[in-house]
Amino acid sequence: MAAKKAEQALVDQWRDILALRARTQCELDRALHQHGLCASDFEVLDVLAAGPARGGSGSSGSDAALRVQEISERVHLSQSALSRLIARLEKDGLVQRCMCEEDRRGVRVALTAKGRTLHGEVLPVQRAVLTRMLAN
């Protein structure tokens, strides 16, 4: 009986985590929409703005260029969803793609000046939502 209660407590905790994530994602999407972004768009811009310092392999053409694989390790999107998102951000002039010099099959992505400016403008909005939703 105690094992069942412990198991149910884990399941309840997991569902609470999922619900908090879903509510936070919705709030982020709502707040960022007025800036033309969704939460996933901002997450990619934020990872690029942080640059390669958190595990990237260095620069190639731009101090904040990351391989698509490095971005995918830090955002929770499938490879195809990430590729579509990067293509959309590139079309909007927020990022640029270039070939990896060390591996011609690889692609690096970097913020453009427009992307860096938008990230800076929207960063306080995203952080305010996180603070409101996650601070206890």
Per-residue pLDDT of 97-126, as tens digits, reads 988 777 667 789 999 999 999 999 999 999
pLDDT of residue 56: 40
- For residue range 85-99, what is the model confidence (pLDDT) as tens digits? 999 999 999 999 988
Q: For residue 104, what pLDDT is reported?
A: 67
State how far the alpha carbon of 80 is from the alpha carbons of 38, 49, 104, in Å: 17, 22, 19
**pLDDT higher than 60, residue 135:** yes
Number of domains in the chain: 1
Tell me: the pLDDT tens digits for 9-66? 999 999 999 999 999 999 999 999 999 999 999 999 999 999 875 444 444 444 569 9
- In this prediction, residue 132 carries a pLDDT of 96
Task: Give pLDDT, residue 63.
Answer: 53
Distances (CA, A) of 46 to 73, 110, 129: 14, 11, 15
Instruction: Report the pLDDT value the prediction gives residue 48, as an integer from 0 to 100.
Output: 96
Q: Which domain holds residue 86?
A: 2-134
Give the CATH number, domain containing residue 96. 1.10.10.10
Contacts of 117 (CB under 8 A, 6+ apart): none
pLDDT of residue 55: 43
Answer yes or no: are the C-beta atoms of 110 and 62 closer than 8 Å.
Answer: yes
